[in-house]
Amino acid sequence: MKTPHAPIALACVFALLSFSTALAVDSTRSDAVTFNEHVAKIMHERCSSCHRPGQAAPFSLLTYEDAAKRAQLIGAVTGTRYMPPWHAETGYGKFKGERRMTDREIATLAAWVEAGAPEGPGEAPAPPTFPSGWILGEPDLVLSMEEPFTVPADGPDVYRNFPARVPTTEDKWIRALQFQPQARTVIHHSLFNADTSGTARKLDARDDTPGYSGMGASIPGKVSLSGWAVGGRARVFPEGAPLRLPAASDFLFESHFHPSGKEETERSSIALYFTDEPASRTRLSFQLPPRFGTGARIDIAPGDPSYTIGESFTLPAAIELYGLTPHAHYIGKEFKSWAELPDGSEVPLIWIKDWDFAWQDMYVYEEPVRLPAGATIRSSIRYDNSAENPRNPSNPPKRVRWGRGSEDEMGSIIYMALPADENDVKAIRQAYSVISKRHARQAKEYFRARRAEARAQP
């Protein structure tokens, strides 16, 4: 550090110190922290939307008794940031619906637990009320799973896909949607797709149980229609960019369940809201690496705690990035993406330090991130195939390569963007197709080598 800057830096450090001291003094006055005055507000704002009757969370956090008898648990799970569940790092992209507590809120809860979880004088603020039924009003179409599915009481997590016939005779444009699960304690996420090939229905017919298992089998021409994860609410798509629902297709619920100790019955529904205005802006969706990592030559040695893949894409024209969805299976560990701008500056896009397959969130930016022509988007995905990774499905660890099974891996970040100028769509697609084609070639070589290896084995 150059000397002239030192006093400024020192002043900054001092300012930071005095700020944190102020925080510390405040939070150590634990005698002053009570449920009625401090904790109820935090519970209601940060916990109650899920922790209330009829929702996914296992118990309510509305009243003093609700919170007081779980005080130690609340202190522990907020202290480690396991709750509220939010996996993206602060300061690395600003997203809608961030389920995060501030450091100050966490310190307040810790001080309350330390003080013995006092109720305090006066009355607690009234718990918030939540709208019942469909948040966005009467839907244009409601689709439901055709048959209820029984989630077993016990055993490993269940991945199952359910097609539901779309009755419309012409393509529709979805401007918003809301998912409504039935068995809220066991459903963890559902990804939505439209299948026009009939493949999903064939797979469903293979056995008598509703749906078919697996983490999203390969369906030719599958159209992604976003998804839902625990805590998710209604989803409204960017103005001018509704999603196309193909006529007479099958709507696919690709759902993840975790058994709860007793049998549960799930019959998911989705409310769709249409617009007469077809998309006027082109939705650009690209993956880094492309094709869920088929061409990334994934080959992770058993025991390897840190194996990384990644890709980059230099934009030929400006885009507005409005969201992204990271995807890997169980041993995926870390996701990082950023953009390098032509002026040398860096735009952080997302950082997930401890990937949890159970939380398949779609991250939508609070404000779309505008990236200029010449910006390079980079992705980096790290895997942990060591025995120390409790999420490793294989014990002892096995060699892991690309595949659809839960013991195989995939890896990509799916970016969703709109072109800043519609005239640039072709140029952007062409630039991306260069990367995508390179990965297609790599995938071909990769699978050829794997087949040769399999043949060589006795």
Partner 1 sequence: MISLPAAFLLLALTSMQLPASILLDVDGNEHVLPDPGAKATIVYFVTQDCPISNRFMPEIRRICGEYSSRDTRCLMAYVDATATADEIREHRQTYENTVPAVHDLNHALVGLADASVTPEAALFDREGNLAYRGRINNFYADLGTPRRQATEHDLRDALEDVLAGRAVSQPRTQAVGCFISKFGTAQRQESP
The footprint of partner 1 (CB under 8 A) covers: 58-59, 65, 68-73, 76-77, 80, 82, 85, 117, 153-154, 156-157, 185, 258-262, 330, 356, 358, 390-391, 393, 395, 406
Run of H or E including 150:
strand 149-151
State the minimum distance, in angstroms, from the CB of residue 302 to partner 1: 15
State the minimum distance, in angstroms, from the CB of residue 262 to partner 1: 5
Of 22 and 153, CB closest to partner 1: 153
Indicate the pairing of strand 243-245 with strand 149-151: unpaired
Of 261 and 344, CB closest to partner 1: 261
- Pure H helices in 240-290: none
Residues in the chain: 458
195 bridge partner residues: 250
State the minimum distance, in angstroms, from the CB of residue 54 to partner 1: 14
Residue 275 DSSP one-character state:
E
CB 252 within 8 A of CB 163: yes
Of 250 and 264, CB closest to partner 1: 264
State the minimum distance, in angstroms, from the CB of residue 58 to partner 1: 4
CA of 20: how far to CAs of 33, 73, 111, 365, 429, in Å? 18, 26, 16, 29, 48
State the minimum distance, in angstroms, from the CB of residue 38 to partner 1: 18
Of 30 and 389, CB closest to partner 1: 389
Residue 62 DSSP one-character state:
-
Residues in contact with 413: Cβ distance below 8 Å, sequence separation at least 6, in sequence order? 287, 288, 324, 325, 326, 327, 335, 337, 350, 379, 381
State the minimum distance, in angstroms, from the CB of residue 398 to partner 1: 12
The Cα–Cα gap between 388 and 392 comes to 8
Run of H or E including 112:
helix 103-114
Of 131 and 390, CB closest to partner 1: 390
The Cα–Cα gap between 45 and 97 comes to 12
Of 184 and 297, CB closest to partner 1: 184
Of 141 and 358, CB closest to partner 1: 358
State the minimum distance, in angstroms, from the CB of residue 150 to partner 1: 15
